[in-house]
C-alpha cells in the first residue's frame, strides 16, 4: 500500500497555516516545537514537495502548492472528526466535545442561563465556546473549527441548517435627564434628532436594530461606534447619546442605580431571530436539535416565542 499522511501530520500542517508560527502551532497541538517541525518535515518528505518555506525562525510562508494541500487537509480532518462524532452520537446524545461559536451580542446574555442546565441534563457533554462576529463564525464553521454556531438572523447562512430559537426586540437606552426620557415610549422620528451611539460595522446587531426601527443605511446622527455593548452603556450613562440594545442585554449590562432610562420603541418589529446553525453534512444533527431544545427551554427573560 502507498504510504499516506497521518491525521497528526495534517493537523500540524493546518495549525502552522493558521498561526504562521511554529512555536504557537506547537502550543496549540500540545507538542514540542521540534516534534511539530519533524512531523511537517516527514509529511513533506512523504509527498515529495515543499509546503512551508522557513524563511527565518519567526517568518513562515506557505507555498502555492501548500495552500492547496492545506485546504484538502482541512477537509480530511473535518471528515475524520465527523466519523468520530457519528460513532459517539449513535451511542450517547450530546456527549463528548462540542465546539460552539457564538456572536458577542448573544453569548454573555444567553449562555450563562444555559450552561448549568446543560451540565445537569448532559453531564458527559464538554462545551467549548468560541466568540466571533457573524462573518468569522460562519468561516470557522465552514472550515470545521467549530461544530455549530449561535447567531442572529437575518443573516446570509448559505447551505447551513438553520434552527430558529426565539425572536428578540430592541429598546432605547437614554441618559437620565435626556429630553426624551419623560416619554413613556419612543417613535422612530424621535431617533432622527439624537446623537445615536451604535456598534461598529461588522456587528449584525447594528443593522438589525436600525432596521427594526425603520432606520436604514448610514446615519448622519451616529455620534459614536463602539466595539461592545458594555461600552455603549457606559457612553449613554455619561450623557453622550442614545443607543439601541437587545432586551436580553439589560439584566447583564445595566446595574441598579445606573443613570440611564430604558424606553420601548413604538411600532418596532422584533429586531432579530436567534438561531442555531450547523453544517448540513454534520452527523450530529440530532445533538444540535437537542441543544436547540435546551436553549429554548432556558431562554433569557424577554425573548419572544416563534
Statement to judge: residues 125 and 192 lie in one domain: no
Q: Which of 41-50, 146-155, 211-220, 237-246 has the lowest mean pLDDT?
A: 211-220
Q: Range of 150's domain?
A: 92-167+272-297
Residues in Cβ contact with 265 at an 8 Å cutoff, skipping those fewer than 6 apart: 169, 170, 171, 172, 185, 186, 187, 188, 212, 213, 244
Residue 244 φ/ψ, nearest 5 degrees = -120, 130
Percent of the chain topping pLDDT 70 = 93
Please give the Cα distance from 126 to 71 (Å, whole number).
Answer: 27
Q: Looking at residue 192, what is its pLDDT?
A: 82
pLDDT, position 99 = 93
- Tell me the C-alpha distance between 78 and 84, whole Å: 10
Q: Do 144 and 201 share a domain, yes or no?
A: no
pLDDT band of 194, cuts 50, 70, 90: confident
Average pLDDT over residues 224-247: 88
Q: How big is the CA angle at 228 (ends 223 and 230), to the nearest 5 degrees? A: 95
Mean pLDDT of 104-116: 91
User: How do strand 60-62 and strand 52-54 relate by DSSP bridges?
Assistant: antiparallel
Cell numbers that stand for 46 in this block: 512523504
Domain boundary, last residue among 83, 102, 137: 83
State how many domains the chain has: 3
Q: Does 231 lie in the same domain as 163?
A: no
Residue 40 C-alpha cell reads as 511537517
Residues 253 and 284 placed together within one structural domain of the fold:
no
pLDDT for 237: 94
Residue 270 binned pLDDT confidence (cut-offs 50, 70, 90): confident
- CA dist 264 and 266 (Å) reads 6
State whether 219 and 276 are in the same domain. Answer: no
Q: Which long-range contacts (CB under 8 A, 24 or more apart) does 120-123 make?
A: 121/94, 121/294, 122/93, 122/94, 122/95, 122/290
36-78 pLDDT tens trace: 999 999 999 999 999 998 776 567 889 999 999 999 998 888 8
The whole-number average pLDDT for the span 249-259 is 91
Same domain, yes or no, for 154 and 190? no
Q: Is residue 118 part of a domain?
A: yes
| CATH value at residue 40 | 1.10.10.10
pLDDT (average), residues 101-126: 91
Q: By three-state DSSP, how is residue 144 classified?
A: coil
- Identify whether 239 is part of a domain: yes
**All three cell numbers of 45:** 518528505
Of the listed ranges 61-70, 163-172, 217-226, 242-251, the one predicted with least confidence: 217-226
Q: What is the CATH number of the domain that holds 107?
A: 3.40.190.10
Q: Mean per-residue pLDDT for 176-183?
A: 92
Amino acid at each position: 500500500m502507498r504510504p499516506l499522511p497521518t491525521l497528526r501530520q495534517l493537523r500540524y500542517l493546518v495549525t502552522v497555516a493558521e498561526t504562521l508560527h511554529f512555536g504557537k502551532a506547537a502550543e496549540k497541538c500540545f507538542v514540542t516545537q521540534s516534534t511539530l517541525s519533524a512531523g511537517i518535515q516527514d509529511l513533506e518528505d512523504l509527498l515529495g514537495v515543499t509546503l512551508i518555506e522557513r524563511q527565518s525562525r519567526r517568518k513562515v510562508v506557505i507555498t502555492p502548492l501548500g495552500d492547496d494541500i492545506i485546504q484538502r487537509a482541512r477537509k480530511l480532518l473535518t471528515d475524520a472528526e465527523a466519523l468520530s462524532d457519528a460513532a459517539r452520537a449513535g451511542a450517547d446524545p450530546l456527549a463528548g466535545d462540542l465546539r460552539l461559536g457564538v456572536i458577542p451580542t448573544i453569548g454573555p446574555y444567553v449562555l450563562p442561563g444555559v450552561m448549568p442546565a446543560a451540565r445537569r441534563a448532559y453531564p458527559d457533554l464538554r462545551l467549548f465556546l468560541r466568540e466571533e462576529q457573524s462573518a468569522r463564525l460562519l468561516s470557522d464553521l465552514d472550515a470545521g473549527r467549530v461544530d455549530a454556531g449561535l447567531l442572529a438572523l437575518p443573516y446570509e447562512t448559505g447551505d447551513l441548517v438553520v434552527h430558529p430559537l426565539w425572536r428578540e426586540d430592541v429598546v432605547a437606552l437614554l441618559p437620565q435627564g435626556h429630553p426624551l426620557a419623560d416619554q413613556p415610549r419612543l417613535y422612530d422620528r424621535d431617533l432622527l434628532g439624537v446623537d445615536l451611539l451604535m456598534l461598529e460595522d461588522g456587528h449584525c446587531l447594528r443593522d438589525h436594530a436600525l432596521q427594526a426601527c425603520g432606520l436604514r443605511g448610514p446615519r448622519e446622527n451616529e455620534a459614536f461606534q463602539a466595539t461592545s455593548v458594555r461600552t455603549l452603556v457606559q457612553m449613554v450613562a455619561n450623557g453622550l447619546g442614545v443607543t439601541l440594545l437587545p432586551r436580553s442585554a439589560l439584566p447583564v449590562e445595566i446595574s441598579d442605580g445606573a443613570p440611564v432610562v430604558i424606553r420601548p420603541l413604538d411600532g418596532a418589529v422584533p429586531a432579530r431571530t436567534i438561531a442555531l446553525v450547523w453544517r448540513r453534512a454534520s452527523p450530529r444533527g440530532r445533538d444540535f436539535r437537542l441543544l436547540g431544545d435546551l436553549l429554548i427551554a432556558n431562554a433569557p427573560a424577554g425573548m419572544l416565542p416563534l
